């Protein structure tokens, strides 16, 4: 398998560290936002094996000019734009934390551990599961990309025919649709 994954550094986030992306044949999907549009092109990208992003980990990838951070929250994968909507700070370089709740003065409860990402520039916080900001979730959010896990066998299908050999799939991969 690969090396032990780690959060990206601020330097790597600025430099655009590329993940191991394998472009797959895109598929078309209807565009519900425009009644006269026939289809919208959705690229399917293989980010890497599930084992490369351990629970609580993240991985920065770049796809078609988009910088995307993929997070593993206890085996569930979420992908957000790496750009904070405030002034463009790299969310990959931010601190992952939880949320402090209080039902009454002096009583605090730390919840949702590891589910919030804080921009390193001005500390705006976003929910990793939804991309919504904590302070104004209806108006401010980070772009979210669908992310899911597919078996390696499902990723080898394609429009081309070639000589084949027996192959074993030993791992699953995280896939982001950007």
Domain-located, residue 3: no
The answer to whether the beta carbons of residues 89 and 117 sit under 8 Å apart is no
Distance from C-alpha of 90 to C-alpha of 71, rounded to nearest angstrom: 14
The answer to whether the beta carbons of residues 46 and 173 sit under 8 Å apart is yes
pTM, 2 dp: 0.64
| pLDDT at res. 26 | 41
User: Rounded to the nearest 5 degrees, what angle is found at the Cα of 34, between the Cα atoms of 128 and 139?
Assistant: 35
Domain-located, residue 53: yes
Task: Specify the higher pLDDT residue, 85 or 163.
Answer: 85
Measured between alpha carbons, how far is residue 69 from residues 55, 116, 139, 161 in Å?
A: 14, 13, 21, 34
- Among 4-13, 15-24, 32-41, 119-128, the range with the most confident prediction by mean pLDDT is 119-128
User: What pLDDT digit, counting tens, does each position of 27-51 carry?
Assistant: 344 445 544 444 445 577 888 889 9
Name the band, by pLDDT with cuts 50, 70 and 90, for residue 3: very low
Domain-located, residue 68: yes
The answer to whether the beta carbons of residues 78 and 70 sit under 8 Å apart is yes
| pLDDT at res. 22 | 39
Name the band, by pLDDT with cuts 50, 70 and 90, for residue 66: confident
| pLDDT at res. 158 | 55
User: In terms of Cα–Cα distance, which of 105, 59, 57 is closest to 82?
Assistant: 59
CATH number at residue 75: 2.102.10.10
Distance from C-alpha of 75 to C-alpha of 101, rounded to nearest angstrom: 25
| pLDDT at res. 174 | 76
| Domain extent at residue 51 | 10-177
What is the count of structural domains for the chain? 1
Collapsing DSSP to helix, strand or coil, 143 comes out as coil
Sign of CA dihedral 45, 50, 56, 57: negative
Domain-located, residue 2: no
Q: What is the DSSP letter of 64?
A: T
Cβ contacts of residue 38 below 8 Å, gap of 6+? 30, 31
Sign of CA dihedral 130, 133, 136, 139: negative
Domain-located, residue 93: yes
Domain-located, residue 4: no
Name the band, by pLDDT with cuts 50, 70 and 90, for residue 163: low
User: What pLDDT digit, counting tens, does each position of 91-142 carry?
Assistant: 999 999 988 888 999 999 998 898 999 999 998 899 999 999 888 888 899 9
| pLDDT at res. 119 | 93
Q: Is the pLDDT of residue 16 over 60?
A: no
Task: Give percent of the chain above pLDDT 90.
Answer: 36
| pLDDT at res. 172 | 82
The answer to whether the beta carbons of residues 92 and 82 sit under 8 Å apart is yes
Please give the torsion angle defined by the CA atoms of residues 25, 31, 37 and 42, in that order, rounded to the nearest 10 degrees.
-20
């Amino acid at each position: 398998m690969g090396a032990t994954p780690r959060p990206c550094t601020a330097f790597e986030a600025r430099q655009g560290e590329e993940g191991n992306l394998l472009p797959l044949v895109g598929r078309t999907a209807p565009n519900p936002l425009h009644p006269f549009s026939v289809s919208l092109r959705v690229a399917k990208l293989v980010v890497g094996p599930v084992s490369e992003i351990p629970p609580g980990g993240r991985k920065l990838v770049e796809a078609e000019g988009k910088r995307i951070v993929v997070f593993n929250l206890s085996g569930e994968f979420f992908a957000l734009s790496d750009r904070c909507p405030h002034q463009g700070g790299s969310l990959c370089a931010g601190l992952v934390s939880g949320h402090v709740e209080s039902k009454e003065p002096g009583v605090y409860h730390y919840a949702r551990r590891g589910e919030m990402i804080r921009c390193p520039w001005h500390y705006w916080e976003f929910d990793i599961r939804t991309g919504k900001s904590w302070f104004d979730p209806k108006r401010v959010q980070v772009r979210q990309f669908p992310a899911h896990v597919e078996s390696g066998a499902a990723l080898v299908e394609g429009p081309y025919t070639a000589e084949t050999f027996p192959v074993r799939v030993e791992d699953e991969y995280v896939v982001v649709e950007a």
